[in-house]
């Protein structure tokens, strides 16, 4: 225990004052008794009770006693120190004592108000007073720490409260930083049409203030920005603000040319989904700052990220939706030299990750590309801007080689491709059947690649016709992309019999026009795309019975779903869960023994493992067996280092092989892969080769090459389902030829399909806007800016959010078309809104004949928010008035719980509405439904409500329902409160210092509140609080310095053992270790006085001023005066005190 405690010397003279607080304390606590009892304490010189200690009489009593009776310590037992500690410290100081020689006992909030038990309350009061007396004798005189106030102020939130505060301060000559999350200031008020009860046009009264802010020399406006961190304390806050990039610089003249050309149409936040906006936008015409913002996200769209070559699918989909096909094609060929081929035969991994799939089905991304390419017909690949001298040799003209060649050629390098086969295109030419990819198409696209200067030499096998070494000598770099053209074997008896064919060779022979003879019964082994291709090709060659044998079930089958379907339509039989075990025959195949399988546990591919069923073998007669179970590379002649299974060994990032100048990619490195996968590696190799030539870092910043999952998330709530367009095909009976099966979208179908895009990353990176911007203001390379600002005070005015009415499903919002929210209606009645002020139903045409307005949606409701949102009654009345004004014949019903109109002119407005003929129904609405019970209700929305004034249930049929949702705290208010070290209540509203006397300040000195972030408020209240916060700050600024509590830690260097435990305890890094002395030291300027280090010090040598061990231990002893067991302990055994 603390045995260093020194007895207080010389004897202190304590004055004790017990407050009655009128009857607040005296009614429960016997204050006279407590005062009398306290006098018995040996430290106490005088003990008094008084009706109101906080009154000037009470304070004078203290001052007088100090002077006359020579008191050295003061204890006041009254209310919470948060209420009057300052008052009594001042009185103590006025009496001539150091203000810290005072202690307060809280016998009101912590005692008399919490119990009716008078005896217990009095006993507790004695304990609290005694604790204070025992504590105060150990108090030390302390001096306040003066802190200078930086005259700059940060205001967070540019709604009406923040705007008001900013103008008040700036007009007074102070520098203000106004930070707003949105691209424009104005907040919710900018969205409103009229303001109650005066019916002022909201924009008319707000926009002049907004432009004042925009033009004010003392206001630095930081829109589209968020506060990232706050350090420091009153007078000296160090704030970091992230200015999100708008990708538009100060040259913007707000001419709107960019907006007109932008192909991305998303729902407008400002119009709460009632209208739309483009990706580059201005929230509303009067926006301040009056400039455009390009909505870009931190990552790519899912389809772009998920595409191994990052084809800008989002871009071309948006352009197709707008009918800009030429532009779409231009965008497509920027990344992809095989556009029409990919539009037909790509495995489209983009569609697997498409966010639209979360709503219904993914967008048909690949076929849209085909549509654009077919529609436009001709195109030009990009040509180099300047020629370079470096030469690159590419081995293999498949998709990987071609993609590599295109990227290198774009950069100006001299490229030559060597192809072993008599046709260019690799697997495209010899692996994919004609009915999926027409030779003419392939020829055309390879022709385009040749057009930009890529040379292709056919019939030249590297390793045989020319050696790799020779290539290395002739070229500055070599890319090997020879593919995987050798079929793997199953490894069963009889596999070498005549009539057993390799699938890949079969497809190659058919494509090259070599003669292939098949019998009437053909069995195809395998379940991948090649197996399907093989089976369908065999069928087209006239084979009567084609049977596919696959060892797993349909669910695990790797082939494309649609193609399996098409194969079945064409009469191909598929035997699932079946595997060949032996091929029988003399010289040629006669029959095959098959075995049935069942599925066991999943293997490393995640698919369930097939397990043979013993004794299930059966023989099937057949003429040919075609094996298509996978291919492997054949690169023995190249003499490169390979992996066990035969693939070339390369550096995973750069694709460099064991030879420095030689790179490899595609199927010869990774095994059989998709077209786009092979192309991606070609592009990676092109990048590596470019970096090698340019002598750049081969590894830096390459994390996002190849497919990855984007981190953006799109809100899919309330999206209507619209099925994916199906690609039309030629009828199954016409599929005996090698005609292309898929026909391609019609223009109408393509546009409709493209319009399903959710624009998950908003801006689609098509860069069309840059082509029309005359002042050259759009800059895609702009990045977020981090700005550090120093301020003395902070005003938080972050406002509110509206309650999501979907949470109350019985009110039908989102389900019943003509149920609107208040904000939707505000936008609707606004002359500059989406309907130009016309009140119409969701069809944007018909006017309602009757309207019901539902109050208290989510407010005053145990299930949602218990509080009253204060403004809904008034704006609901305003809505009723606006409906009367615009649709004089319409009936308006206001369903309310209580009508709350407590403001200047508010009740009068209510009275006016009563006279205007609004029907008022007092009762909480139970339900809004479209299920009619009578003829009259047919086609209407029926509002079911109990009219509590007539005591009857009513069903009110109306055309339109407006919900008046609760005002809620911002969804991120908790994080905001932590950022600024304020408190926030259960509902998320920020806590003021005192609900009655200080609704402006927070617990943190120098941080103030304004507007609805503190609780629901209307415009005049927000303005008042904004101005009040500004005046509080102005007062601090003019004071120049404030006095801080001297509660700080200090270390007795003499006694410090140098264990450093405290160093890590301090959250402010205020404790440093002084190496030469071997002791720790508190940096007073950084210390905030929490005392955590004091509690942690094993030597007990850290002193927390005003909360010392002596003081707290004595307070504990004092508090427990009536519990002391130790007095009965024999002398000598007593616990050290």
Query: 1053 or 1061: whose CB is closer to other proteins?
Result: 1061
* Among 55, 64, 115, 637, contact with other proteins (rule: CB under 8 A): 115
Q: Collapsing DSSP states into helix, strand and coil, what is residue 1050?
A: strand
**What is the smallest separation between the CB atom of 1107 and other proteins, expressed in angstroms?**
6
Site string for other proteins, 1030-1069 (x = CB under 8 A): -----------------x-----------------x-xx-
Both structure tokens of 1118:
């004092």
Closer by beta carbon to other proteins, 33 or else 740: 33
- 1119 contacts other proteins (rule: CB under 8 A): yes
Using CB under 8 A, pick the residue from 57, 709, 743, 1120 that binds other proteins.
1120
Kindly give, in sequence order, each residue whose CB lies less than 8 Å from that of residue 596, ignoring residues fewer than 6 positions away: 577, 578, 612, 613, 616
Q: Which of 145, 991, 1044, 1059 binds other proteins (CB under 8 A)?
A: 991
Kindly tell me which of 578 and 1114 has the beta carbon lying closer to other proteins.
1114
- Residue 233's beta-bridge partner residues? 236
Q: Which is nearer to other proteins, 1037 or 1056 (CB)?
A: 1056
Among 977, 1025, 1080, 1103, binds other proteins (CB under 8 A): 977
The CA distance from 394 to 415, in Å, is 7
Residue 190 and residue 145 in contact, taking contact as beta carbons nearer than 8 Å: no
Identify the three-state secondary structure at position 758.
Answer: coil
User: Per CB under 8 A, does 494 bind other proteins?
Assistant: no
Is residue 721 close enough to count as binding other proteins by CB under 8 A?
no
In whole angstroms, the minimum distance from the beta carbon of 362 to other proteins comes to 39
Instruction: State the DSSP code for 612.
Output: E
Q: What angle do CA 605, 503, 563 make, to 5 degrees?
A: 65
Closest CB to other proteins among residues 120, 949: 120
Q: Two tokens at 758?
A: 């959710």
Supply the minimum distance, in Å, between the C-beta of residue 985 and other proteins.
4
| Residue 379 makes contact with other proteins by CB under 8 A | no
H-helix segments, 222-290: 257-261
Q: How far is the CB of 1069 from other proteins (least distance, A)?
A: 11
List binders of other proteins among 63-82 (CB under 8 A).
80-82
Please give the Cα distance from 654 to 706 (Å, whole number): 12
Cβ proximity to other proteins: between 495 and 972 the closer is 972
C-beta of 147 vs 480, nearer to other proteins: 147
Stretch that binds other proteins, among 63-71, 143-151, 795-803, 1093-1101 (CB under 8 A): 1093-1101
Nearer to other proteins, 824 or 1110 (CB): 1110
Quick one: 80 or 711, whose CB is closer to other proteins?
Answer: 80
Tell me which of 986, 1054, 1075, 1076 binds other proteins, using CB under 8 A. Answer: 986
How many Å apart are CA 984 and CA 975, to the nearest integer? 10
Query: Partners of 230 in the beta sheet?
Result: 239
Stretch that binds other proteins, among 702-710, 760-768, 771-779, 1088-1096 (CB under 8 A): 1088-1096
Size of the site for other proteins (CB under 8 A): 64
Q: Per rule CB under 8 A, is residue 1090 in the interface with other proteins?
A: yes
Q: For residue 296, what are its two tokens?
A: 């870009």
* Helix-strand-coil split of the chain, %, nearest 5: 30, 20, 45
CA–CA dist 249, 780 (Å, integer): 10
Q: Do 531 and 550 form a contact (C-beta atoms < 8 A)?
A: yes
In the complex with other proteins, the residue whose CB is nearer, 447 or 1067, is: 1067
Number of Cβ within 10 Å of residue 680's Cβ equals 24
| Residue 1055 near residue 1099 (C-beta atoms within 8 A) | yes
Q: Which of residues 996-1025 bind other proteins (CB under 8 A)?
A: 1003-1004
Residues 123-152 that bind other proteins (CB under 8 A): 123-124, 127-128, 131
Q: What is the 3-state secondary structure (H, E, C) of 835-879?
A: CCCCCCCCCCCCCCCEEEEEEEECCCCCCCCCCCCCCHHHHHHHH
The enclosing H or E element of 1076 equals none
* Residue with smaller CB distance to other proteins, 526 or 1104: 1104
Q: Which is nearer to other proteins, 205 or 1065 (CB)?
A: 1065
Task: Single out the segment in contact with other proteins by CB under 8 A; choices: 107-115, 200-208, 814-822, 961-969.
Answer: 107-115
Tally of helices (H runs) and strands (E runs) in the chain = 33, 50
Q: How far apart are CA 182 and CA 149, in angstroms?
A: 30
With CB under 8 A as the contact rule, which of the stretches 171-179, 400-408, 495-503, 1082-1090 interacts with other proteins? Answer: 1082-1090
Judged by CB under 8 A, the stretch of 405-413, 460-468, 538-546, 974-982 that binds other proteins is 974-982
Q: Which two tokens stand for residue 41?
A: 């304490």
* Stretch near other proteins under the rule CB under 8 A, chosen from 150-158, 257-265, 923-931, 1089-1097: 1089-1097
User: Does residue number 1130 form part of the binding site for other proteins (CB under 8 A)?
Assistant: yes
The reply to whether 1096 sits near other proteins by the rule CB under 8 A is yes
Looking at 788, 1075, 1123, 1131, which residue binds other proteins (CB under 8 A)? 1123
Candidates 110, 358, 607, 719; binder of other proteins (CB under 8 A) is 110
Closest CA to 169 of 156, 155, 180: 155
3-class state of residue 217 by DSSP: coil
- Choosing from 111, 271, 487, 1018, the residue that interacts with other proteins (CB under 8 A) is 111
949 contributes a contact to other proteins by CB under 8 A:
no
Which residue lies nearer to other proteins by CB, 722 or 1047?
A: 1047
Identify the H or E element spanning 514.
none
Cα 1024–1026–1027 angle (5° rounding)? 65
User: Is residue 1123 a contact partner of residue 1116, using CB atoms and an 8 Å limit?
Assistant: no
Among 3, 116, 385, 644, binds other proteins (CB under 8 A): 116
Cβ atoms 189, 206 nearer than 8 A: yes
Structure tokens, 385: 């801007």
Name the segment binding other proteins (CB under 8 A); options: 120-128, 191-199, 459-467, 774-782: 120-128
Position among 117, 520, 776, 908 found at the interface with other proteins (CB under 8 A):
117
Nearer Cβ to other proteins (809/995)? 995
1135 contacts other proteins (rule: CB under 8 A): yes
Which residues share a beta bridge with 154?
Answer: 177, 794
For 927: left if phi > 0, alpha if psi spans -120 to 50, otherwise beta; the answer is beta
Check binding of 1131 to other proteins (CB under 8 A).
no
| 3-state secondary structure (DSSP) of residue 524 | strand
Q: Closest approach of Cβ 976 to other proteins, in Å?
A: 12
Q: Does 503 bind other proteins (CB under 8 A)?
A: no
Contact pick of 330, 875, 1091, 1103 for other proteins (by CB under 8 A): 1091
Rg of the chain over CA atoms, in angstroms? 40
Integer angstrom CA distances of residue 414 from 250, 337, 380, 386, 397: 42, 17, 19, 11, 16
C-alpha distances in Å from residue 495, one per residue of 579, 592, 853, 862, 1045: 14, 10, 79, 75, 91
Q: Is 1089 in the site for other proteins (CB under 8 A)?
A: yes
User: Strands 194-195, 618-621: parallel, antiparallel or unpaired by DSSP?
Assistant: unpaired
Nearer to other proteins, 52 or 708 (CB): 52
User: 701 to each of 654, 687, 705, how far by Cα in Å?
Assistant: 12, 12, 9
The binding site for other proteins (CB under 8 A) comprises 1-2, 80-82, 106, 108-111, 113-117, 120-121, 123-124, 127-128, 131, 977-978, 981, 983, 985-986, 991, 1003-1004, 1047, 1065, 1067-1068, 1088-1092, 1094-1096, 1104, 1107, 1109, 1112-1113, 1115-1117, 1119-1120, 1122-1130, 1133, 1135
């Amino acid at each position: 225990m603390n045995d260093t405690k020194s007895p207080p010397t010389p004897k202190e003279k304590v004055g004790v004052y017990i407050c009655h607080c009128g009857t607040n304390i005296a009614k429960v606590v016997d204050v006279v008794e407590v005062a009398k009892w306290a006098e018995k304490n040996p430290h106490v010189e005088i003990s008094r009770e008084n009706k109101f200690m906080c009154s000037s009489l009470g304070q004078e009593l203290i001052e007088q006693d100090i002077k006359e009776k020579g008191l050295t310590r003061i204890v006041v037992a009254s209310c919470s120190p948060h209420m009057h500690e300052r008052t009594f410290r001042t009185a103590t100081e006025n009496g001539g004592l150091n203000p810290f020689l005072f202690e307060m006992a809280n016998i009101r909030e912590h005692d008399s108000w919490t119990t009716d038990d008078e005896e217990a309350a009095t006993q507790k009061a004695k304990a609290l007073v005694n604790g204070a007396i025992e504590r105060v004798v150990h108090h030390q005189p302390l001096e306040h720490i003066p802190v200078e106030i930086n005259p700059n102020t940060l205001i967070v939130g540019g709604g009406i409260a923040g705007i008001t505060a900013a103008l008040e301060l700036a007009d007074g000559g102070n520098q203000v930083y106004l930070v707003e999350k949105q691209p424009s200031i104005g907040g919710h008020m900018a969205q409103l049409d009229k303001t109650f009860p005066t019916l002022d046009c909201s924009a008319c009264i707000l926009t002049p203030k907004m432009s004042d802010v925009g033009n004010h020399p003392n206001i630095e406006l930081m829109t589209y920005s968020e506060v990232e961190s706050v350090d420091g304390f009153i007078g000296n806050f160090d704030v970091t603000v992230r200015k999100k990039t708008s990708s538009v610089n100060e040259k913007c003249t707000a001419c709107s040319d960019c907006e007109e050309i932008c192909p991305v149409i998303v729902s407008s936040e400002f119009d709460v989904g009632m209208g739309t906006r483009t990706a580059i936008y201005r929230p509303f015409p009067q926006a301040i700052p009056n400039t455009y913002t390009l909505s870009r996200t931190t990552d790519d769209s899912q389809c772009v990220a998920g595409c191994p070559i990052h084809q800008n699918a989002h871009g071309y989909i948006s352009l197709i939706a707008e009918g800009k096909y030429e532009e779409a094609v231009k965008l497509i060929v920027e990344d992809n030299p095989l556009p029409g081929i990919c539009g037909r035969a790509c495995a489209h991994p983009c569609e697997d990750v498409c966010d639209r799939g979360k709503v219904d089905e993914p967008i048909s991304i690949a076929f849209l590309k085909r549509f654009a390419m077919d529609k436009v017909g001709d195109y030009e690949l990009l040509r180099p801007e300047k020629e370079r001298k470096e030469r690159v040799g590419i081995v293999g003209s498949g998709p990987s080689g071609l993609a590599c060649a295109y990227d290198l050629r774009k950069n100006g390098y001299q490229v030559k491709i060597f192809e072993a086969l008599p046709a260019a295109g690799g697997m495209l030419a010899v692996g994919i059947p004609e009915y999926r990819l027409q030779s003419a198409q392939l020829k055309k696209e390879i022709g385009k690649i040749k057009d930009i200067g890529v040379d292709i030499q056919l019939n030249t096998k590297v390793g045989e016709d020319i050696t790799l070494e020779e290539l290395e000598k002739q070229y500055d770099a070599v890319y090997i992309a020879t593919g995987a053209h050798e079929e793997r074997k199953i490894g069963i008896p009889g596999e070498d019999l005549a009539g057993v064919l390799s699938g890949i060779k079969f497809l190659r022979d058919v494509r090259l026009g070599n003669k292939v003879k098949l019998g009437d019964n053909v069995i195809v082994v395998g379940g991948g795309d090649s197996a399907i291709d093989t089976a369908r090709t065999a069928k087209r060659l006239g084979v009567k019975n084609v049977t596919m044998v696959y060892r797993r079930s349909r669910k695990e089958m790797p082939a494309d779903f649609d193609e399996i379907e098409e194969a079945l339509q064409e009469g191909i039989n598929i035997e699932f869960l079946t595997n060949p075990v032996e091929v029988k025959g003399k010289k040629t195949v006669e029959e095959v023994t098959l075995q049935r399988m069942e599925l066991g546990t999943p293997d490393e591919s995640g698919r369930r493992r097939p397990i043979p069923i013993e004794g299930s073998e059966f023989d099937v007669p057949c003429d040919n067996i075609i094996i298509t179970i996978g291919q492997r590379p054949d690169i023995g002649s190249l003499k490169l280092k390979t992996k066990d299974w035969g693939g070339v060994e390369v550096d995973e990032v750069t694709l460099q092989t064991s030879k420095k100048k030689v790179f490899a990619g595609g199927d010869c490195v990774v095994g059989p892969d998709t077209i786009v996968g092979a192309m991606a590696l070609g592009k990676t190799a092109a990048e590596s080769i470019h970096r090698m030539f340019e002598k750049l870092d081969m590894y830096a910043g390459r994390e996002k090459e190849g497919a990855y999952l984007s981190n953006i998330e799109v809100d899919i709530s309330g999206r209507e389902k619209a099925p994916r367009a199906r690609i039309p095909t030629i009828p199954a009976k016409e599929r005996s030829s090698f005609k292309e099966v898929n026909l391609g979208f019609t223009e109408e179908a393509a546009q409709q399909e493209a319009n399903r895009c959710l624009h998950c990353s908003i801006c689609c990176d098509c860069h069309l806007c840059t082509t029309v911007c005359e002042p050259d203001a759009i800059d895609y390379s702009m990045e977020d800016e981090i700005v550090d600002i120093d301020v003395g005070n902070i005003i938080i005015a972050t406002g509110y959010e509206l309650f999501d009415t979907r949470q109350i499903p019985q009110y039908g919002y989102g389900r019943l078309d003509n149920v609107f929210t208040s904000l939707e209606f505000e936008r609707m009645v606004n002359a500059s809104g989406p309907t130009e002020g016309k009140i119409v139903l969701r069809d944007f045409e018909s006017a309602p004949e009757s309207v019901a307005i539902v109050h208290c949606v989510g407010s005053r409701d145990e299930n949602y928010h218990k509080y009253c949102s204060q403004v809904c009654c008034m704006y609901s009345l305003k809505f009723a008035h606006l409906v009367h004004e615009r649709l004089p014949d319409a009936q308006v019903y206001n369903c309310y719980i209580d009508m709350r109109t407590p403001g200047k002119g508010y009740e009068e407005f209510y009275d006016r509405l009563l006279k205007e003929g609004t029907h008022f129904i007092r009762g909480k609405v139970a339900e809004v439904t479209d299920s009619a019970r009578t003829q009259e209700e047919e086609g209407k929305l029926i509002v079911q409500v109990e009219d509590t004034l007539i005591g009857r249930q009513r069903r009110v049929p109306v055309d339109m329902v407006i919900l008046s949702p609760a005002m809620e705290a911002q969804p991120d208010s908790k994080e905001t409160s932590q950022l600024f070290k304020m408190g926030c209540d259960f509902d998320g509203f920020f806590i003021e210092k005192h609900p009655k006397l200080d609704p402006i300040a927070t617990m943190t000195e120098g941080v103030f509140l304004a507007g609805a972030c503190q609780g629901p408020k209307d415009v005049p209240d927000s303005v008042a609080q904004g101005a009040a916060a500004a005046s509080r700050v102005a007062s601090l600024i003019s004071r120049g310095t404030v006095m801080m509590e001297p509660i700080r830690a200090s270390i007795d260097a003499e006694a410090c053992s140098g264990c450093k435990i405290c160093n890590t305890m301090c959250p402010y890094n205020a404790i440093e270790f002084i190496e030469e002395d071997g002791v720790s030291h508190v940096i007073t300027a950084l210390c905030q006085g929490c005392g955590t280090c004091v509690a942690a010090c094993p030597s007990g040598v850290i002193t927390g001023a005003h909360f010392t061990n002596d003081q707290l231990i004595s307070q504990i002893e004092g508090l427990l005066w009536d519990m002391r067991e130790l007095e009965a302990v024999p002398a000598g055994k007593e616990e050290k005190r």
